[in-house]
Structures are given as structure tokens and as C-alpha cells.
Structure 1
Amino acid sequence: MAKPSLLLAFLGVGVHAAFYGPTFHWGRSLSDDIDPPAREVIQRANRDPTLTRSVPLRPFERYWGFLAEDSVLRGAEWTWRINISSIEAPDADSYDAVADSHVASVTYDFSWPADGNISTALDGASGTLCLMTLLDAVDLPVAATNGYTEDDGDSTSCEPVLGRECVAALLAQVPKPRGTACMLPTRTPWAEVPECRDLLGAFEPYGQSFFGLPLGSNVSDDRDGGRREWLSGQVFYSNVSRPLDGADSRLYNYMANRVHMMMMSVELPAAHEGQTAGGPELLCMRVNATELPEVDTDGDGVAFTYETVLESKGAQVPLLGYYRSSRLWLGLCSAVVIFLIL
């Protein structure tokens, strides 16, 4: 198991108030609660990413048989895109002097063929769309990371990474959402599921994030009199690092090579009036799916993904920070929980 003292040092990076950690959001534009430099970085990262991968997704396919004949979800192919960027940020303030200031960023978005917002694309679902992700700083052993290769580049399956038993156990944890209740297992982290402990529990500290979007309020008046909707192609998740030296590409390379993992769950209208279907779906992707060498830099017996991007023995990867403005958090997220297990 990785040494907690070393990994806590990875997490202990300061982030200036202009930059924030992992954030779920939706709407026509990013909230005014984000300082302009941070907002501009996220927008530029999504317009012109350094590295990107788009993977086709057949959302909630195992429930299609329960949907109405005129369902827009049944047979639909969505796209899950992840953008990884290293972007110049000359206006970023930092507690430490850095040359040629850059930030590393990651954004997620979904695209779907149906007209309208995400509620329409989910057959008019009006409950809560529930999302759960691994924190960006949570790493996997290289042996698991290498399970997702270019041969899997058109798939969101987590089985090549986690194995069938682990995936089945994670899905079995989550019952179908009911109304506004996500029913996500917030008290039983993935790292403690017996079938997954050797992989998801190998890294310390461990953390997950949770987000619930009430689909019934997906369209509402915002402070400027406009409408906030989660539309096809819009970023719904982003993370931006603290300012880094422009010559330091370790964090960017880590984010490009790591396994991005996300669970989503929703209650869907079924074919028969008054009945519902739906439940959880687990998605995985690597943006750079190249096979990595197994390099155990710190000699703890486990080779992690972050160790493949160290420039010298004992160096530390400045992982993405998790500090944020409470105004930003409350303004953009309707229900979010983040926890770390130390």
C-alpha cells in the first residue's frame, strides 16, 4: 500500500482563491461566483484542449426494455468527452513564485442526439440525476490502469480495469433512485467494497464526490433573467489546478493517463403509467490509453500511475487541489458531498 505520508504531501497543495478544485455545474455559462481568471481558464480548456477523447455511450441500456415505445432514450447513443489541458495562466496568482505560469485542467461533458436539455434526453425524467466520481487525486495500480487500452478506446466499460466482480458489486450497492433521493452509498466507499478493495483501496487517502441534479428544476430563471439548462455538449464537471511552472508537465501527464471513473443513476419513466425504471451505470475512460510501465518509484511494493510521470526519484506530483469558494459551491451544485478517507 502507498505510503500515506508521501501521498498526503501530494494532496497538500495550496490553491489561490481564483482557482478551485472539482466542481459540478451546468448552465449556459459558468457562474459569476467564479473569479474571471478561473472562468476563462475552464472555458479555454474546453474550447481548445491539449488532449481529448470522446467515447460513445448507450446510456442506461440495461433498462431500455422497460421504456415506452416512443422513448427518445431507447436506442440513443450519447458521447462522453474528457478534455485534459495544460494552459497558460499569466494572471493566476500563486503563493509560490512560478515561471511561465500554467494550470492543468480536466473537463467532462455529455452530448446526445435528442433536442432539448438532459431531462428531455432522459425521457422527461423529473427526479434527480445522481453522479458519483473518484476524486482526481485517487490513483489506481498501473496493472489496473493498463486494463484500459486503445482496444477499449470506444468503450466506457470498467470491467477491463476493475474486473467483472468488482463492477457488479459496485452496481449492486445502488438501488434505483426514488424521487429526489439518490440512494448512493455515501457511507460505504468503493475502497471498502470487498470485491474492489485490492484495486480501489490500494491508494491512500481515498475520496469520492457526489452530485445530485434535480431534473425538475433543470430549467429555471437565473440572476440575469436568462435560463439555466444542462444542454448537450456543455461541461458538467471541471477541475483546475493551482498555478504550476510551465515546464512542469507531471500533473497534466497524470490526468491524461489515469482512469477517470464515474457512476450515474436516475429514475426513468417506464412504459406503464405510474411505473419507473432505472438505476446505476458505471463509466470508465482513459484519455491517453497507452500502456504504462510499472515503476515503483517510492519502493512501497505497488506501482501507481502517478509514479510513471515522476521526473526523478522522490519527486512529488502536485495533484489537483480541493479548495473552493463556498459561494461557488452553493451557487453551482444543488447537492454535493466530498469526503476523504485518511
Structure 2
Amino acid sequence: MKNHLTAISVSALLASGATAIEDVWLSPGSGLGTSPPSFFDNQTADIFREATAAPNATRSIRFRPFEGSGGTNAQLEQDEWTWRVNVTEFGLPHLASNFSAANISNPSYFTTTYDLTWPAGGNISAAMRGSNSPFCVTTFDYLFPANVTDMYTQENTNSTDCEHILGEDCLNKLYYEGNNLDGDQCVRPAWNEIPECSGTLGAAVRASAGGRPFTFSLSTSDINLDSENNALNDGQPIQSGEGVWAFESGVINRADATQGYLDATNRLQIFMFNTWIDIRNGRVSKPNVLCMRVNTTSLARNTSGAASQNHMTAVMAAVLVTMFALLS
């Protein structure tokens, strides 16, 4: 989740020698929604909102997530949703004097966001026609090897289907062993431990463990605030068309942001959501496992598609050192 520090002037913070605060600004982040990080000052937050409202690159796919579920609500089966992935890069020139000690002379930022749109409008409970069941979303923030990423081509851009990439056996396992809904709670599935997914999801995790750039691994959250077991009771409900999830770079040099932006547009995005559907004699879950790339250009076989992430790895190491120092 994103850090929830009070938003005050970055200049005031950094002038006071607050190293830990500087590390927060430099660190990559990931979490629910697409609002600016709460520690941003007003000017930076305004730039963030303006940039993410008009992303540099985007792709959207329409699909019927609950078609064929056998639910008692016939309209729900016919509802067409839209999943959109947006990638944005933008400069923060007003911060140029604040991060010179970190060797950042041309501060910039890039972000990837997911949003969902549904025909009923309103929040996710309204989308599900008044449901108070958990609505579990799982993001898989690992960088896939190029040979896996390249399986998603321009021919696949009219479908969210992942079978041609993950394979039928892996996908079937995700519907059961890899499901992110357990009873009335959302859970964090161990996708990398599924043998049938070893060559795809497992390969991405192994590459990260073997020294590939920093990632946020796999995250699961319940975005239905009407769910009885939702721990996010202080959050704002996500509305149709609003951002569901964001991956953020932290403040970095423009060259790193430009490369990171290109990597983000090329990368394979995998996203799962799941909830309970009422049927005549009970309820059934209908997991949706979605795949997309914003840019379908083929990657070189010997590249990870993430050169700029090396900077993030170094930043996160510095953050951890700072945290241990503060705790000792």
C-alpha cells in the first residue's frame, strides 16, 4: 500500500535533513487507486493528476466477465466491462533543487494504472447489483522473460484471454488452486508454486529472485467496501472508470523515467479479479484472469525489458538501510 504521510512542502522536508522522507519520495510504490501519493505537496499532486488524466500510452479491452456463470441475474451475464491499462511519464522540474544529493538533476516520474468500467456505474457493489461479497483483485508485478512477453502480440489485443500465454493447464489451476477468493475473504495465492505455471508465472518469480530488478511481487485486495470482511473500511469506494491499481516509479532522472516508461508499455500485465455470483441453489465464483500489453512490439530474447529498474533496486536498498538505522 502507499505510504500515508501528511502532504507538506517537499522543500521544507528535505531542507530539514529528513533522509527518510527523501527516501519515500525516491522509492517506487504500488497500491489501490490512482490518487497522488499522500506525501506529495500540492504542486506535485496537481502535476500528477493532470498527467495521469491524459496518459501517454493506453490500451483498453472490452469483455463480459460473468458470461456463462449461470447466475440468477441475467443482466449481469450480459454486462460488458472495460479494462484499461495506462502508462504515463512526466517531468517534475520544480523539484530540481531538492534531489541533487541523490544525483537527480532532472526529476521525472512514470506510473502504470489499471482502471475498470462497468455499465451499471457507481461503486463495485452497484456493478454487482448490490452484492456485499468480497471483490478480490490480484496484481502480479513481476517482469516476465522476453520469450513469455512476446507471446502477447497485436493479434491478441481484442481479447483479455491469457490461455495462449499461460497455457490451458496453468489457467485451469489459477481458477482453483490459484484462486484469490477463499470463503468470504480475499487471499494472496501462491502462483509461483503451481507446477503447471512454472514456465510462465514461475519463471518471472525465479528471475526476480535471481537478481532481476525490484518488483512488488503479488498483491491482493478487496475493493468492495460493502463486503463484511473488508479491512479497508477507511478507504474511498472505487467508482466505475476510476483507477483500481497503480504502480509508481518514485522520483528518478528523466533518462531513467523515459526508459522505465518504454519498459512499462512493453511489459506483460496480468490481473485477476473474482467474486461470488448468486445461482439458483447457492453461489459460484467466476475468476477472471486478464492479460494485456500496451505496446505489442517484440522484445529481444536476451533483454528483461526493465533496464531502468536497476535504479529502483538501489533506491529500495537504501530505504531498507535507512529503516534499519531508524529502528536500531
Task: Point out the more displaced range, 35-44 or 277-286.
Answer: 35-44
* Structure 2 unaligned blocks of 5 or more: 1-20, 210-214, 320-328
Counterpart AA for 1:124: G
CA contact (8 A) 1:24 1:238 kept: yes
Counterpart of 1:143 in structure 2 is 147
Cα distance in 1, alignment partners of residues 287 and 129 from structure 2: 16
Counterpart of 1:208 in structure 2 is 218
Aligned ranges 1:173-188 → 2 under 5 Å: 173-174=177-178, 177=181, 180-185=184-189
Q: 2:242 aligns with which of 234, 241, 249?
A: 234
Q: 2:300 aligns with which of 287, 290, 293?
A: 293
TM-score of the two chains, using structure 2 as the length reference = 0.74
Counterpart of 2:127 in structure 1 is 121
Q: Equivalent residue of 1:230, what SS?
A: coil
Cα distance in 1, alignment partners of residues 280 and 44 from structure 2: 44
Q: For residues 61-94 of structure 1, what are the alpha-carbon distances to aligned partners after superposition, in whole Å with 9 as ceiling and x for unaligned?
A: 341x22323x3x2111111111111111224454
Cα distance in 2, alignment partners of residues 176 and 256 from structure 1: 26
Counterpart of 2:191 in structure 1 is 190
Counterpart AA for 2:278: P
Cα distance in 2, alignment partners of residues 140 and 177 from structure 1: 25
Moved over 6 A (4+): 320-323
Q: CA deviation at 1:118?
A: 1.6
Cα distance in 2, alignment partners of residues 68 and 147 from structure 1: 36
Q: CA deviation at 1:182?
A: 2.0
Going by fraction, where is helix more abundant, 1 or 2?
2
Task: Point out the more displaced range, 15-24 or 112-121.
Answer: 15-24
Cα distance in 2, alignment partners of residues 228 and 191 from structure 1: 31
Q: 2:253 aligns with which of 240, 245, 256?
A: 245
Q: For residues 291-337 of structure 1, what are the alpha-carbon distances to aligned partners after superposition, in whole Å with 9 as ceiling and x for unaligned?
A: 2222x2xxxxxx5333xxx5xxxx864358779x9xxxxxxxxxxxx
Counterpart of 2:71 in structure 1 is 66
| Larger RCO (CA under 8 A, 6+ residues apart) | 1
CA 263–322 in structure 1, closer or farther in 2 if over 3 Å, else same: farther
CA 38–25 in structure 1, closer or farther in 2 if over 3 Å, else same: farther
* Structure 1 unaligned blocks of 5 or more: 1-13, 297-302, 326-342
Counterpart AA for 1:193: I
Cα distance in 1, alignment partners of residues 222 and 27 from structure 2: 20
CA contact (8 A) 1:55 1:153 kept: yes
Counterpart of 1:339 in structure 2 is none
Q: CA deviation at 1:19?
A: 6.0
Percent identical pairs in the alignment equals 28
Q: For residues 224-270 of structure 1, what are the alpha-carbon distances to aligned partners after superposition, in whole Å with 9 as ceiling and x for unaligned?
A: xxx94321111121122122222332211111111111111111233
CA contact (8 A) 1:67 1:74 kept: no
Q: Equivalent residue of 1:35, what SS?
A: coil
Aligned ranges 1:1-342 → 2 under 5 Å: 16-18=23-25, 21-26=28-33, 30=35, 33-36=38-41, 39-63=45-69, 65-69=70-74, 71=75, 73-92=76-95, 93-94=98-99, 96-135=102-141, 138-174=142-178, 177=181, 180-185=184-189, 189-202=190-203, 203-205=207-209, 207-216=217-226, 228-248=236-256, 249-271=258-280, 275-294=282-301, 296=302, 303-306=303-306, 310=307, 317-319=310-312
CA contact (8 A) 1:266 1:279 kept: yes
Cα distance in 2, alignment partners of residues 287 and 191 from structure 1: 24
CA 103–30 in structure 1, closer or farther in 2 if over 3 Å, else same: closer
TM-score of the two chains, using structure 1 as the length reference = 0.71
Counterpart AA for 1:209: S
CA 286–322 in structure 1, closer or farther in 2 if over 3 Å, else same: farther
Q: For residues 25-80 of structure 1, what are the alpha-carbon distances to aligned partners after superposition, in whole Å with 9 as ceiling and x for unaligned?
A: 35xx83884423664454233211111111112113341x22323x3x21111111
